[in-house]
Amino acid sequence: MDLGIDLGTTHTVVAVVDRGNFPLLSFSDEFGDSHDHLPSISALGPGDGELIHGFEAARAMAQGLPGIRSVKRFLSNPAVTSSTPVTLGAGREGARVLGIGELLTSYLRHLHDQISRATGTDALRAVVGVPAHAHTGQRFVTIEAFKAAGFEVLGMLNEPSAAGLEYAMRQSRTLNSRRTRIIIYDLGGGTFDASLVDMSGTVGEVIDSVGLNDLGGEDFDQVLAGMARPRLADAVSEDALREACRIAKEGLRPQSRNVLVDLPEETVRIPVAEYEDACQPLVDRSIDVMTPLSNLLQSDPARSDVAGIDMVGGATSLPLVPRRIRDLFGRRVHRSPNPTGSTAIGLAIAADPTSPYSIRDRLSRGFGVFRETNWGQQVAFDVLADQTLRLDSPTTITRRYRSGHNIGIYRFVEFSRTDADGTPRGDLTPFAQIVVPFDESLQRSGAAIGPEDVHPVDNGHWAEETYTIDPSGMVSAEISDLDTGWSASTTMGLDRPVVRS
């Protein structure tokens, strides 16, 4: 069975490929009620502390057991690897530390089991979503966890790109020969992404993407919790308060005058106007980040080839968000009728081999390496790939040269933009370092080496760098000593490089 799976910060949504239709899969809670999502929550169960997930974990956390929400937020750390530790119930008795890969795999096994029960099949194939500005490590850990949980991963697609597919199928009447492009505004539970997508015909192409890995619905929950806490008469745990605030936020309607935070012993009433004033800086952050794309719509609306802005993601249900966007951009703002399901539906469209709709994605973050030059007196930056790289097929980039040092130190970074001279600016994220000995004695000894061991050499060994970027945007690197055959390779997200003598 082919699926689209949107692993969200708060909820996981699954769409099924069904003869040209893409219905959302329903999941049952402990009361037998159906929901179009599975909570992205893990906890330690009562008794032996077994890992539990989804609705069962939500219930356990409500009862005060250790747990964790928003694993996806932890994944956004650029230094993440499968063994990056995550603590369930941090600061509490009975807390447990797990590698993030182990925790995510366990959650996805639960998801696999729930889907199998609902559909009657264990053969599950999926296109999975990832934030457009997800780092290479996050992509690697996510794909590996899906595979370990029993899914056949057909591909990985940036979430706003998937939402663009859903928009093209749902809102084709807004696209014409003059206006072929749309801006996807995707404000989810933990991340914000915006992508400019050209949907000429049925084959779309991502033109550009911007985003924030630290802005989402959880931040709006936190604002509400901060306002509610001083108004409480009784003590309440942070987990219980945050969950109550999330429910209160999601219950807001355009006509609501008060936010009602309903707790077991009391209800806190906060004026909506006061809450929205406190949240507006969060919305404005998303608008500021989206400026490189929205300028195309605002500069000359009558002549712009941008059909509009499509708002998706669960956090757009907060009335302030679409109202603020419409105040700026007018009638060309569309909000998906199913903002929490649009990405999963788009992923399912991508998974459907019979669908006429497809999309060509681009690398959402540039990738490059810092190296010493001029015998260690200077550091130069080499842009290996930027956002112009299309992800239609694997791309290989090679550098070959004679080493000027006995040891090469390669510091890899991802970046959002570069200056005209190729210098990375703005959102610059270091995410890996490889130290390579171009000295046969060091290669044989296997001794630990570092920057303090580097010195210039005459007639150094020939070195070759090979970088491969796959269609999901993951980067692997191999540094080889061509004189000795020694090499070190890594996929960004691995705990350590793999050395081959």
What's the DSSP call for residue 31?
T
> 134 and 106 in one domain?
yes
Q: Which domain holds residue 481?
A: 366-500
> Does pLDDT of 356 surpass 80?
yes
The two beta strands, 125-130 and 258-262, are unpaired
* 67 close to 51: Cβ distance less than 8 angstroms: no
165 shares its domain with 308: yes
Q: Which residue has the tokens 């809102």?
A: 171
Q: Quickly tell me which residue has 């809670």 as its tokens.
A: 29
Instruction: Check whether 134 has a pLDDT greater than 60.
Output: yes
What percent of the chain lies above the pLDDT cut of 90? 46
Structurally, how many domains does the chain consist of? Answer: 3
**Is pLDDT of 441 > 80?**
yes
Burial per residue of 236-263, b for 16 or more beta-carbon CB atoms within 10 angstroms, e otherwise? beebebbbbbbebbbebeeeeeebebeb
Asked if 240 contacts 65 with a C-beta cutoff of 8 angstroms, the reply is: no
> What pLDDT was estimated at residue 235?
83
Judge whether residue 67 has pLDDT over 70: yes
Q: What is the pLDDT of residue 494?
A: 66
pLDDT, tens digit, for every residue of 39-64? 999 999 887 779 999 999 998 888 88
Average pLDDT of the segment spanning 70-89:
83
Q: What is the pLDDT of residue 280?
A: 96
- Mean pLDDT in residue range 169-187: 82
Q: According to the per-residue pLDDT averaged within each range, which of 161-175, 228-242, 418-432 is highest?
A: 228-242
pLDDT (0 to 100) of residue 378: 64
Q: Work out the average pLDDT over 21-35.
A: 93
CATH no. for residue 309?
Answer: 3.30.420.40
Residue 497 clears pLDDT 70, i.e. is over it: no
pLDDT higher than 90, residue 341: yes
Q: How confident is the model at residue 372 (pLDDT cuts 50, 70, 90)?
A: low
DSSP states of 367-393: EEEEEEETTTTEEEEEEEE-TT-B-SS
pLDDT digits over 104-113, tens only?
999 999 999 9
Cβ atoms 194, 183 nearer than 8 A: yes
Which of 107, 91, 99 is closest to 43 using CA atoms? 107
Choosing from 312, 343, 360, the residue where a domain stops is 360
Q: Distance (Å, rounded) from C-alpha 21 to C-alpha 28?
A: 22
**Quick one: 468 and 385 in the same domain?**
yes
Residue 25 has pLDDT above 90, yes or no: yes
Query: What secondary structure letter does DSSP report for 90?
Result: T
Q: How confident is the model at residue 303 (pLDDT cuts 50, 70, 90)?
A: low
- Range in 217-231, 261-275, 326-340, 396-410 with the lowest mean pLDDT: 326-340
Each residue of 182-213: pLDDT tens digit? 999 999 988 899 999 988 777 888 888 888 88
314 phi and psi angles, rounded to 5 deg: -60, -30
- The reported pLDDT for the residue numbered 146 is 96
pLDDT score recorded for residue 498? 63
The burial class, CB within 10 Å (0-12 / 13-18 / 19+), for 19 is exposed
Please give the share of the chain, as a percent, with pLDDT higher than 70: 93
123 and 189 share one domain: yes
The CATH number covering residue 455 comes to: 2.60.34
Cβ burial, residue 459 (10 Å; 0-12/13-18/19+): exposed
Average pLDDT in the 166-189 region?
83
Cα-trace Rg, the chain: 24
pLDDT bin (cut points 50, 70, 90) of residue 387 is confident
Both 122 and 68 in a single domain?
A: yes
User: With contact defined as beta carbons under 8 Å apart, do 16 and 3 qualify?
Assistant: yes
pLDDT of residue 499: 58
For the chain, give percent helix, strand, coil, nearest 5: 30, 35, 35
Question: Which structure tokens are listed for 381?
Answer: 């930056």
Of the three residues 360, 386, 413, the one that is the final residue of a domain is 360
Distance CA 501, CA 487 (A): 6
Task: Give the integer Cα–Cα distance in Å for 199 and 296.
Answer: 16
Which residue, of 279, 296, 314, is where some domain finishes? 279
DSSP-based three-state secondary structure for 35: strand
| Same structural domain, 123 and 16 | yes
pLDDT score recorded for residue 95:
79
Q: Residue 339 and residue 317: Cα distance in Å, rounded? A: 8
Mean pLDDT of 328-337: 85
Confidence of residue 398 (pLDDT cuts 50, 70, 90): very high
Is residue 376's pLDDT more than 60? no
Q: Which residue has the higher pLDDT, 203 or 423?
A: 203
The region that residue 283 occupies, defined by phi over 0 for left and psi between -120 and 50 for alpha, beta otherwise, is alpha
Do residues 290 and 270 share a domain? no
pLDDT at residue 300, as a whole number: 60
- DSSP for 106-142, please give it: HHHHHHHHHHHHHHS-S--EEEEEE-TT--HHHHHHH
Query: Are 149 and 54 part of one and the same domain?
Result: yes
Residue 425 shares a structural domain with residue 474:
yes
493 confidence band (pLDDT: 50, 70, 90): low
**What does residue 203 show for φ and ψ, rounded to 5 degrees?**
-110, 110
Query: Three-class SS of residue 336?
Result: coil
Locus of tokens 């081959």: 500
Q: What is the pTM of this model?
A: 0.84
- Whether 183 and 262 map to the same domain: the answer is no
Domain check: are 68 and 165 in the same one?
A: yes
The answer to whether residues 120 and 35 belong to one domain is yes
